[in-house]
Amino acid sequence: CSRWEEEKKGDGVKWVQLEHRGPYFVPLYEPLPEDVQFYYDGKPFKLSLATEEIATFYAKMLDHEYTTKEVFQNNFFHDWRKEMTSEEQEIIKDLDKCDFREIHKYFVDKNEARKALPKEEKQKLKEEADKIQEEYGYCILDGHREKIGNFKTEPPGLFRGRGEHPKMGMLKKRIMPEDVIINCSRDSKIPEPPEGHRWKEVRFDNTVTWLASWTENIQNTLKYIMLNPSSKLKGEKDWQKYEVARRLKDVVHTIRAQYRRDWKSKEIKKRQRAVALYFIDKLALRAGNEKEEGETADTVGCCSLRVEHIQLHPQLDGQEHVVEFDFLGKDSIRYYNKVSVEKQVFKNLQLFMKNKDPSNDLFDQLSTNFLNKHLQHLMDGLTAKVFRTYNASITLQEQLKALTNPEDNVAGKLLSYNRANRAVAILCNHQRSVPKTFARSMQVLQEKIDAKKKQVEEAQEELKKAEDECKDKKDAKAEDNVEKKKKLLKRLEEQLAKLNIQATDKEENKQIALGTSKLNYLDPRISVAWCKKFGIPIEKIYNKTQREKFAWAIDMAGEDFEF
């Protein structure tokens, strides 16, 4: 039996034995050298140590887009002033008069120097990092030595957040042992806190899988140290997630028939639930949980949509019953989409929006809780998220079937794979901003293509010459020469085709993030089976870390696996 299929434990128990070293705390602040100065209003100004450390966080980010944003600047300055001494507060009252350029340069130079270190020095640094990884990066779980995911605490710095997060620029404080709760087994060697410190608490809770936790100060959320995705525990959980999604496949037709009936229900609450479920199923929207007021960014999911987030068009671009969505979803990523929906859905939306203000809830009688209870009733373990996993995986499988041409070479097949993955990323709205380096790397690729075209043209001329010579001479040597030139031309044409495919792939991919769906929403067995079926090396699809995470799937799936 493989390690994925060892004996199961009883109710809610995740482990019997858990032993580890606790988190690795990032090194303390090293003061700036005397000759690196901060200037206020054009004059050098010596900052106290705590104030200087926070100044370095901002200085390091000077060349980043964040520091040009007003929200970021205001949040930073507000939090920085709170940490200043009263003398500093008296003087430093205007961010525009602060000059961090010398500090910024110091860190840029330091970085360059590190990159330029001789090989032996780099090797020494790597060995030191490996030593820390060996000591802190593993735990013993039920007799297995398992890798820990993130064993270091996050360093202090300025909060960035994703999208246009309202808290960007706020001060992320240093995590101290006094903030940390340790979780391990009672009989294990309990981790020692760093000298002169103590843990907030030590727990022996075998119903959870985290090793340590603390509350971060910006969003007041809990952070955990967890096992690495490649560990048996995480692998099992991952596998179960996709098995639940596969079970949905058998009942999804019944569920769809039911919510269609509910569009005409006498109860408005049921109608709202049915329309929301249609969106979650058809558009892979997130459910959207209730949130504390003013706690976080104003982001919504399906159940928390407001009237202002949708517009109804009886006719638009040659389609009927079009709903235009425009809202900020998870991580403040904008969701914008125009979708033709069924007539009954359209009529219901008109009804839900009647006599409401733009800021009113669209589904005012619906809570995520009510929706998930209903889903649980339809199928054991079913939540809104399972629809996202199911629709993503089924889309990948169908697209791979439709797009893969068995006659294509490896590069052609990989383009088809990435196109199938892109269809999923678009469904799940996984966007990214165009990478900063995009234009430059596209230019480099274009230069390679132009050079290769030239080589192909030269090879064509060479071949023509060789064929003409062969006609004149008609000897074996001349014929060999023609064959040689033909082979060369064929090889160059293949290389050119490959480069052209790369350029197409790159262009189509510039605003789409493939990684999120690949890691979280797509059953890896679909990709493993596809690789095995078409003789594609698995490392062309998954990098080393991903292959470790999906070891269970690589183990299990044959080429005829069907999701």
User: Which one, of 509, 526, 510, lies nearest residue 518 by Cα?
Assistant: 526
* CB of 241 closer than 8 Å to CB of 229: no
Identify the three-state secondary structure at position 14.
coil
Angstrom distance (rounded) from CA 404 to CA 503:
19
Which residues are CB-contacts of 153 (< 8 A; sequence separation ≥ 6)?
A: 23, 24, 25, 26, 175, 180, 214
Quote the CA–CA distance of 93 and 71 in Å, as a whole number: 17
Q: Are 233 and 14 in contact (CB under 8 A)?
A: yes
9 and 204 in contact (C-beta within 8 Å)?
Answer: no
At which residue do the structure tokens 């459910």 appear? 287
Length of the chain: 563
- Could you tell me the two tokens for 100? 């961090």
Encoded amino acid at 248, one letter: L
3-class DSSP state of 301? coil
| Alpha carbons 401 and 306: distance in angstroms, whole number | 38
Under DSSP, the state recorded for 178 is: G
Determine the Cα angle at 187 with ends 182 and 192, to 5°.
40
Gap between the Cα atoms of 352 and 312, Å rounded: 12
Tokens of 395: 């889309």
Say if residues 415 and 505 touch (Cβ distance below 8 Å). Answer: yes
Q: What tokens appear for 116 in the block?
A: 């330029």
Q: How deeply is 379 buried, as exposed, middle or buried, from its count of CB atoms within 10 A (0-12, 13-18, 19+)?
A: middle
DSSP H or E segment with residue 201 = strand 201-203
Cα distance between residue 453 and residue 507, in whole Å:
20
Report the distance separating Cα 28 and Cα 16, nearest Å.
35
Token pair for 347 = 């009529």
Catalytic residue among 106, 138, 390, 521: 521
- The DSSP-derived string for 442-485 is HHHHHHHHHHHHHHHHHHHHHHHHHHHHHHHH--HHHHHHHHHH
Q: Give ∠ CA 512-286-361 in degrees, rounded to 5.
A: 125
The question of whether 136 is a catalytic residue gets the answer no
Query: Checking phi first, is residue 317 left (phi over 0); if not, alpha (psi -120 to 50) or beta?
Result: left
3-state secondary structure of 18: strand
Residues 6+ apart with CB under 8 A from 543: none
Distance between CA atoms of 50 and 55, rounded to whole angstroms?
9
**CA dist., res. 25 & res. 40, Å (int):** 33
Residues with a catalytic annotation lie at: 521
